Amino acid sequence: MSAYIIVDTKITDPEAYEEYKALARPIAEKYGAIYRARGGKMKVLEEELWSPSRIVVLEFPTMEAAETFANSPEYAPVKAIRNANADCTLVIVEGI
């Protein structure tokens, strides 16, 4: 069953964040990810619980693949770049 990583990102340093984007994509793809959305145009229709900033959606073949990517040793230094240059909320949700 597929799984999705959904990330809401508020970028604090756009120039430095470009390095994160360039490095993260090949690692995610190594774990089977397909980018379904990556900071594109967004229209918020309801925001009682949450007001998103910039949404990224990655589809993985399984929940295990998504978790393995998120916790992988090769992603750790790249994640540190993201954390230094953005505030994020990241969830993994199982598909149907």
The structural domain count of the chain equals 1
| 13-26: pLDDT as tens digits | 999 999 999 999 99
pTM beyond 0.75: the answer is yes
- DSSP letter assigned to residue 40: -
Print the domain residue range for 28: 3-94
**b/e per residue, 60-84, with b = 16+ CB within 10 A?**
beebebbeebbeeeebeebbebbee
| 40-59: pLDDT as tens digits | 999 999 999 999 999 999 99
Domain CATH code at residue 44: 3.30.70.100
